[in-house]
Structure 1
Amino acid sequence: MTSYRIFIADAFTSVPFRGNQAAVVPVPPDAPINDHLMQTVAAEMNLSETAFVTPVGQDSSFETSSRFELRWFTPVSEVKLCGHATLATAHALFFEENNTNDTLYFDTLSGELTVRRKEDNRLEMAFPADAPEHIEDDENAKVLVAAVLGKYKPTIELMISPSLRYMIIYDPDCNETELASLAPAIDKNAIEAGNRLLTNAVIVTTRGSDRDYKCRVFAPWVGIDEDPVTGSAQTVLAPFWNSRLGKTSFISQQCSQRVGELQVELVGSHVIVSGQTVVVLRGSISV
């Protein structure tokens, strides 16, 4: 068996035990982990995501390399994009591995992602925007709405993003208090409806009184009943709220039990997401 370092970090927060948890495993190029073992480790961690990061190119040092391969796994599957685990990974490289660069480049299933070191230990991530498209009178979408909100109404706006397949539910009558108190019942029928829509997650969003917008994210299709704070969701939400608020810079709050806040900016075809991270556990795992 081979021993690897592992960090557990709370992302999108400066306070321990808030934000969204992720495990980060630095994998040296000369000691790779196969896909099956990555999935096994992620299941063992049982967090929303476990990230595996490896230096690429001639410089194979975690301290000096600026380019890395990055993969993310939920307890049940690999995912195409994960914001909070990317933030946690960059934080681990900058502040645990003492990486000397100001910008890190990650090769991922969503293409090249960049993370820049900013002031106050804040990190800035650049992700491709995934503007959602309207869903027109789809029975599967109505089943999902009823499962999440309790009932379907014709006034509810439904959209889905083409790349990540995140479905947005926007009920103009749902305020932020009601959003925070939602108790979805995503049963077998709703799961099957989501599968037919090729949905990976459902985002419920509303305008905030003290933030630009608020949201909650439910993703049982990838093994996460509710994601506490979701960086990747901002690639869908920023274009959605841009067309309604006429703004390109936002403060977003995810009102799950752990709560998290994100600074979000829509810049051309990319969404910039900024936040802080706190490492709460340092250890090793044998694979």
Structure 2
Amino acid sequence: MKLELYQIDAFTEEIFHGNPACVVPLKSWLPDEILLKIARENAVAETAFFIDNGDSIHLRWFTPEIEMDLCGHATLATAHCLASILNYENTRIVFETKSGELTVDVKDGFYYMDFPSRMPEASTLPDTISKSLNIQPKEVFKSRDYVLVYESEEEVKNIQVERSILDLINLDPGGVVVTAPGTDSDFVSRYFTPQSSILEDPVTGSAHCSLIPFWAERLGKDQLFARQVSERGGELYCENRNERVIVAGKARTYSSGYLWIE
């Protein structure tokens, strides 16, 4: 079986930046174990598989380890694949996913993703996470992910994680977000996923489902510009809409080709 395969860098205008995702169009669903093996073989943080049903697109996301409930950068990559490579006619793309109906509006090179809001609540930090960090947070919150709040962008950039300790905790399907006010952005973040093949995710759209309402309330503004300050880095244009959030960014196609399933 011959399948198309695209690798796209999301939340960036430059190749080798942002978050790489693989996108695989399908005519019908393959067994989950095959989808997972493809994701492992691709060896990027997420592989998106989709089927075009005409009025909507059935979209699923797989890490090399599990199927995810929501993934921002792979959704953006899929929208970019449809709009810029596969000549999808509609400027609004409707995805049917595990997180319900998600829409992406395509305009002027940007992809505006409409996602559920996940306001984090005050929480306590598990000892395992605390011991894995070289710098302790000022505040701790929790939604799907732990959201750790720091004083400054410099602190977030200087955080080091002891993987052997962090991997002792299972947050499936969540992770650990570290965040602070930005110097040339409204806020910055980094994202770590214990027990995964890729410890630090370069740019994490789904984490902003919690970061956007949190910083919107704290900063008193609904339009926000965010940076993920990983080694690759990424830019996210955000809007708080109460029960929903808009996460927007650009993308670049890195490669296209085929894979063979025999």
Bin the TM-score by the shorter chain: over 0.9
Q: Which runs of 5+ in 1 are unaligned?
A: 57-64
Task: Provide the residue aligned with 2:256 in structure 1.
Answer: 282
Q: 1:191 aligns with which of 167, 184, 188?
A: 167
- The Cα offsets for residues 225-267 of structure 1, whole Å up to 9 and x where unpaired, read as 0000111111010111122101111100000110100000011
Structure 1 residue 246 and structure 2 residue 235: aligned? no
Note if contact 1:265-1:273 (Cα within 8 Å) is conserved in structure 2.
yes
**Residue of structure 2 in register with 1:144 after alignment:** 129
- For the 8 Å contact 1:167–1:203, the answer to whether it is kept is yes
* Counterpart in the other structure of 1:167: 146
State TM-score, norm by structure 2. 0.95
* Match of residue 9 from structure 1: 8
Are 1:230 and 2:204 counterparts?
yes
Determine the C-alpha separation between the residues in 1 that align with 2:73 and 2:215.
21
Give the distance between the partners of 1:198 and 1:108, measured in 2 at CA: 18
Give the paired residue count: 261
- RMSD of the alignment, in Å? 1.6
Partners of 1:178 and 1:135 in 2: how far apart? Answer: 21
1:151–1:143 distance in 2 versus 1, CA, 3 Å? farther
On the 8 A contact 2:69/2:173 being kept in 1, the answer is no
- 1:200, 1:222 within 8 Å by CA — same for their partners in 2? no
User: Which protein has the larger Cα radius of gyration, Structure 1 or Structure 2?
Assistant: 1
* Amino acid across the alignment from 1:55: D
Deviation, 1:145, is 2.5
Q: % of aligned pairs identical?
A: 38
What amino acid is aligned across from residue 24 of structure 1 in structure 2? Answer: V
Query: What's the TM-score, normalizing by structure 1?
Result: 0.87
C-alpha deviation, 1:134, in angstroms:
1.0
Aligned 8 A contact 2:120 2:210 in 1? yes
Residue of structure 1 in register with 2:84 after alignment: 95
Give the unaligned 5+ runs of structure 2.
none
After the TM superposition, which residues 47-58 of structure 1 pair with which residues of structure 2 at under 5 Å, given as runs? 47-56=44-53
Query: Are 1:158 and 2:140 matched, yes or no?
Result: yes
Q: What's the CA shift for 1:222?
A: 4.2
Alpha-carbon separation, structure 1, partners of 2:235 and 2:172:
28
Contact 1:10 1:278 survives alignment (8 Å) = yes
Q: Of 181, 191, 194, which aligns to 1:207?
A: 181
1:118 pairs with 2:103:
no
Give the C-alpha shift of residue 213 in structure 1: 0.2
Aligned-pair distance for 1:178?
Answer: 2.7
Verify: 1:180 aligned to 2:157, yes or no.
yes
Would you identify which runs of 4 or more consecutive aligned residues in structure 1 move more than 2 Å?
220-224
**Which residue identity does 1:4 align to in structure 2?**
L
The secondary structure found in structure 1 opposite 2:50 is strand
Please tell me the residue identity of whatever aligns with 2:139.
Answer: E
Please report how far the alpha carbon of residue 151 of structure 1 lies from its aligned counterpart in structure 2 after TM superposition: 5.1
